[in-house]
Amino acid sequence: MNPLQGKRIVLGVSGSVAAYKAADLASKLTQAGAQVEVVLSEGAEHFIAPLTFSALTGRRVHTSLWTDEAHVLHVGLGEGADAVVIAPCSANTLAKLAVGLADNLLTLTALAARGPVFVAPAMDGGMFEHPATQANLQILRQRGVRVLGPARGRMASGLVGWGRMLEPAEILGQLRLALAQGGPLSGRHVVVSAGGTQEPLDPVRYLTNRSSGKQGFALAQAALDLGARVSLVVGATAAALPTPTGAERTDVVTAAQMAEVVLQLAQTADALIMAAAVADFRPRQVQAQKIKKERLPQLELEPTPDILLAVAEARQRTGRPRVVVGFAAESENLLANAQDKLKRKRLSLLVANDITAPDAGFAVETNRVTLLWPDGRVEPLPLMTKSEVAEAVLARVVGLLEGG
Ligand code: C5P
């Protein structure tokens, strides 16, 4: 379901010191399942060897225009590509693209392209800000070329400014997002919650849980991959997780904050997936000062607002979100407890996992879940990566939204 899987991507590399980063991009695209055709300009060959790219992509790298097969090749490369990405795109190549020059295999391929074209400018000094470059970018944008970056920062000359090539992971994210458009969730708004909440006890202490946030982030990515607009509400995560490109992220700390944000977003959502491990209880009183060890407190707890119950109430009035998916992390009586949750929270689907299994639940990369449906159906899924679980859940969400 990763939209890069099986796609034919032409990666054009032009003459810039950032060419070394294109090797990383070629590797990442290949790992994402794309068939990567690398075209190097003559300038690029001064910075990086074709062998680097052929080793990373497992395919022949294209360089010169002046071979027997090159003229046929460029048309095939450009026409057959699902996307052409030029990264780094030097000021020189940018200018050539703007006027439609085709004096090397790279620019020729771009001119023959029928699919979307992306450029990631990379240039030093004030070249990016120069009116000539800006005018060229304007022309390219008007023509539908998507300009990725550049970022601001230190450049090879030591100058700081706009001109650094966007990081390969970001370029990959933008490509993934663009290729997902038109998918089965296009035009749909999906809200995903992820991570745990922290319920403060005093200014330095809080109650929380072992949620890593990984399953929630994977769900957000899977929804984006199907073309959805995604809001990601994030509590505490075990490590800093990269926000999937395209997700609109809101960070929260407590269950009360998460309730406020989720209820607001749910008003416009087609689907809500509550993967967050929301604390079920919190200290009744938050001490203004750090509690001293000499005065050991008796902790008094109170329930937090149940977000899914509040969503169910609002949904009865407004009909939104059409689809609500809950999670149940259980350490005993998995199915009985999950059935109870499904009914009480009036869910469209419940994803239950037994957190006592070593290969499922918090922190690990894999998950073994059982899907429970309101009509009593129980659907156990095999051990999968969290991304695969996310894809399986989103496939069900698509079915539910389509009325299946
Ligand atoms: O009741 P329990 O916390 O086990 O239910 C789990 C499901 O309910 C999860 O989908 C979780 O995100 C959601 N939940 C909630 N509000 C709470 C606690 C949990 O929406 N206060």
Give the chain's domains with CATH numbers.
Answer: 8-179 (3.40.50.1950), 189-401 (3.40.50.10300)
pLDDT at 174 over 70: yes
Residue owning the nearest CA to atom 2 of ligand 1: 328
In degrees and rounded to multiples of 5, residue 307 shows phi and psi of: -65, -45
Which position among 2, 209, 333, 337 bears the catalytic label?
209
Q: What's the pLDDT at 125?
A: 80
Question: What is the average pLDDT score of the chain?
Answer: 94
Helix axes 70-80, 105-112, angle to 10 degrees: 40
Residue owning the nearest CA to atom 19 of ligand 1: 278
Alpha carbon 268 to its chain's center = 21
Verify whether ligand 1 is closer than 6 Å to residue 61 (CB atom). Answer: no
Q: How confident is residue 76, by pLDDT bands cut at 50, 70 and 90?
A: confident
Q: How many CB atoms lie within 10 A of CB 133?
A: 19
- Specify the 3-state DSSP secondary structure of 35: strand
Instruction: For residue 353, report the distance from its CA to the centre of ligand 1, in Å.
Output: 13
Q: What's the pLDDT at 294?
A: 86
Verify whether ligand 1 is closer than 6 Å to residue 327 (CB atom). Answer: yes
pLDDT at 404 over 70: no
Q: Are strands 384-385 and 366-367 parallel, antiparallel or unpaired?
A: antiparallel
Has 209 been annotated as catalytic?
Answer: yes
pLDDT at 73 over 80: no
The amino acid sitting at 158 is G
299 with 283: CB under 8 angstroms? yes
Verify whether ligand 1 is closer than 6 Å to residue 197 (CB atom). Answer: no
Q: Which residue among 191, 257, 280 has the greatest number of ligand 1 atoms within 8 angstroms of its CB, and so is best to mutate? A: 280
pLDDT at 347 over 90: yes
Bond before 380 cis per omega within 30 degrees: no
Residue 325 CA, closest ligand 1 atom number: 10
Could you tell me how many residues make up the chain? 404
Q: How confident is residue 54, by pLDDT bands cut at 50, 70 and 90?
A: very high
141 with 134: CB under 8 angstroms? no
Strand partners, 372: 350, 378
Q: How confident is residue 297, by pLDDT bands cut at 50, 70 and 90?
A: confident
Average pLDDT estimate for 307-321: 96
pTM higher than 0.95, yes or no?
no
Q: What's the pLDDT at 376?
A: 94
Instruction: For residue 15, report the distance from its CA to the centre of ligand 1, in Å.
Output: 53
Residue owning the nearest CA to atom 17 of ligand 1: 306
Instruction: For residue 211, report the distance from its CA to the centre of ligand 1, in Å.
Output: 13
Instruction: For residue 240, report the distance from its CA to the centre of ligand 1, in Å.
Output: 23
Q: What's the pLDDT at 74?
A: 66
pLDDT at 72 over 70: no
In degrees and rounded to multiples of 5, residue 355 shows phi and psi of: -80, 0
Residue owning the nearest CA to atom 9 of ligand 1: 327
**Over the stretch 82-107, which tens digit does the pLDDT of each residue have?**
999 999 999 999 999 999 999 999 99
More confident call, 89 vs 294: 89
Verify whether ligand 1 is closer than 6 Å to residue 326 (CB atom). Answer: yes
159: which residues sit within 8 A by CB, 6+ positions away? 124, 125
Verify whether ligand 1 is closer than 6 Å to residue 276 (CB atom). Answer: yes
Average pLDDT estimate for 181-195: 97
Average pLDDT estimate for 194-202: 97
Q: What's the pLDDT at 70?
A: 60
More confident call, 299 vs 261: 261
Verify whether ligand 1 is closer than 6 Å to residue 90 (CB atom). Answer: no
pLDDT at 359 over 80: no
Q: What's the pLDDT at 1?
A: 76
Q: Which residue among 233, 261, 274 has the greatest number of ligand 1 atoms within 8 angstroms of its CB, and so is best to mutate? A: 274
pLDDT at 49 over 90: yes
Instruction: For residue 280, report the distance from its CA to the centre of ligand 1, in Å.
Output: 7
Instruction: For residue 339, report the distance from its CA to the centre of ligand 1, in Å.
Output: 14
Residue 326 CA, closest ligand 1 atom number: 10
Q: What's the pLDDT at 85?
A: 98
pLDDT at 64 over 80: no
Alpha carbon 8 to its chain's center = 20
Average pLDDT estimate for 264-291: 96
Of 142, 140, 148, which Cα lies nearest the Cα of 164?
148
Q: How confident is residue 75, by pLDDT bands cut at 50, 70 and 90?
A: confident
Q: How many CB atoms lie within 10 A of CB 197?
A: 28
Instruction: For residue 221, report the distance from its CA to the centre of ligand 1, in Å.
Output: 21
Cα–Cα distance between 313 and 345 in angstroms, integer?
9
Q: How confident is residue 68, by pLDDT bands cut at 50, 70 and 90?
A: low
| Residue 177 CB-density burial (10 A; 0-12 exposed, 13-18 middle, 19+ buried) | middle
pLDDT at 362 over 80: no
